[in-house]
Amino acid sequence: MSAPLGATSRTRLPAPGWPRTALLSLSDKAGAADFARTLATHGTRLLASGGTAAHLAAAGLAVTAVEEWTGFPEMLGGRVKTLHPHVHASILARRSSPEDMAALAERGLEPIELVAVTLYPFETRGVELDDAGMIEEIDIGGVALLRAAAKNHDGVIVLHDSAQYAEVRAALERGVTPEERRRWALATFARTARYDAAIASELARRSGDPGEPPAFHALLLERVRTLRYGENPHQGAALYARAGSPTAPSTWREGRELSYNNLLDLEAAVALVWRFRRPACVIVKHNQPCGAACAASLVDAYSLANAADALSAFGGIVAFNRALDGETARQLAGRFVECVAFPELTPEADEALRGRKNLRLVQLTAADLASPDPWRVRLVGPWALLQREAQAQAPPWRVVTKRPPTDAESETLAFAWEVCGAARSNAVVLARGQEMVGLGSGQASRVDAVDVALMKANRASHTTHGAVLASDGFFPFADSITHAAEAGVTAIVQPGGSVRDPEVIAEADRLGVAMVFTDRRTFRH
């Protein structure tokens, strides 16, 4: 076994401010040779683990292999490469401690002042492999290097992503600040936390029933942007995404910053509008669909949606499931709207809305809102609630009255049911054709939800004769059916499941109202 190659074998010192020795151990080698060449040009010794050392040598760079530095060859097929005191002591030695620096000198070592590690790609490869293959994608030495360097960031620059090379190179050229060192260390600890969370989550997934809540659920969030404030001006707030994929809605043009409430309403509007196949428009206010319609054209869908409750639509969030065209945009331009979401924006629409300086135009679809995690997390004080959508297909609807709904009623019931599922419980939706005409939501009583929906329909001058009604939960009493029928409702869709279902069905039969059960409720609290 040869002696370690340390400080005594150095031929020249690095330029001021540049690291004496840089250790590179890279799974992702993109940009590594260029970055290493810059370091070498400024006198930095390059130290690298097996595959990285070969990569740099092939690029014509002088590089010291880790086993030369340690005097110990890698073992166990590469499982043990950098786990050695001569590596970790050179990283962890406190530069301000004479005892630490003397300990390095006694062994012919010099401090490692830059560590660049990209971990085995567990998140992308590990989840695709069998158990044995997955285990081999769990990085041990790389995580240990990153944590050691991040811990000692006062004296060590630490990089965990090839995208950082340009930033670090620029910082070295002008002089690295303590704030930059701390920021890189923080990003590194977040990276190792995310890595461990991915491993734990995958092991938990493989260990349990896929349909059962996992025994362990890890979620690490990374700030994407700060927000002016939260739901109210006195509350601080920010937008976060799952760490490793910090994304925000793609803003076409943002007159003012998207707010906390805007983002909540955008999610509600976009998620609903993309449930419809025909050209559709949904308007959301305070997380509630105050307008929804499908039509042959986008401009007609918008006109119908806005007419559903024009009073509530004032200052709302508008979402479309088709490219926003000039005619529709000109209709929008004449009304006060906070945000407009669309899959595409035509040049004519862009021009029509260009003068609206406070209007936020956001390119957003249901696919953009899709989560890679099937479990939805909701924090409740010191606890967290997890739930997921049922894997089984929804049961077929059942006609429970003597009169089945007509084909036209069935089509409208299906539309109303989708809208109802997006409203807050207790929720009742009135619809005619493919247009919502009344919404009662967030009510403690279901009969109140019916009455509020009727009140809003009447206030907006909609006729309720021939309308249909959707309810997100069962009717505990027959009084709601009576109220709806007296207003002209001819068909109802509801989950069923009340102990008084026979009474409710009998009242619908007495009044000639068609009723279907979905056998699945859509509460949204």
Q: Cα–Cα distance between 208 and 199 in angstroms, integer?
A: 14
| Residue 1: per-residue pLDDT | 41
141 to 109, 157, 210, 325: CA distances (angstroms): 20, 18, 31, 55
Which helix (H) or strand (E) segment is 227 a member of? strand 221-227
Name all domains of the chain by residue range, CATH numbers in brackets. 7-207 (3.40.50.1380), 251-368 (3.40.140.20), 398-517 (3.40.140.20)
Alpha helices in 373-468 (DSSP H): 407-420, 446-459
Query: Token match 């102990």: residue?
Result: 499
CA nearest to 312, candidates 460, 151, 490: 460
Phi and psi at residue 242, to the nearest 5°: -55, 130
Burial status of residue 258 (CB atoms within 10 A of its CB: 0-12, 13-18, 19 or more): buried
Catalytic residue chosen out of the listed positions 29, 42, 151, 217: 151
Residue 3 above 60 pLDDT?
no
Q: Cα–Cα distance between 254 and 421 in angstroms, integer?
A: 30
Catalytic residue chosen out of the listed positions 29, 42, 217, 286: 286
Pairing of strands 237-242, 64-65: unpaired
What share of the chain has pLDDT > 70, as a percent?
A: 95
The region, left, alpha or beta by phi > 0 then psi within -120 to 50, assigned to residue 519 is left
Q: Cα–Cα distance between 307 and 145 in angstroms, integer?
A: 62
Q: Could you tell me how far CA 137 lies from the centroid of its own chain? A: 25
Q: Could you tell me how far CA 500 lies from the centroid of its own chain? A: 42
Residue 480 above 90 pLDDT?
yes
| Model confidence pLDDT, tens digit, residues 313-348 | 999 999 999 999 999 999 998 899 999 999 999 999
Residue 85 above 60 pLDDT?
yes
| Model confidence pLDDT, tens digit, residues 91-134 | 998 888 898 888 888 888 889 999 999 998 887 887 787 888 88
CA nearest to 440, candidates 428, 455, 425, 458: 428
Mean pLDDT is lowest, of 18-27, 118-127, 326-335, 358-367, for 118-127
151 a catalytic residue:
yes
Task: Give ∠ CA 67-72-73 in degrees, rounded to 5.
Answer: 65
Q: pLDDT tier at 254 (50, 70, 90 boundaries)?
A: low
Residue 6 above 60 pLDDT?
no
What does pTM read for this prediction? Answer: 0.81
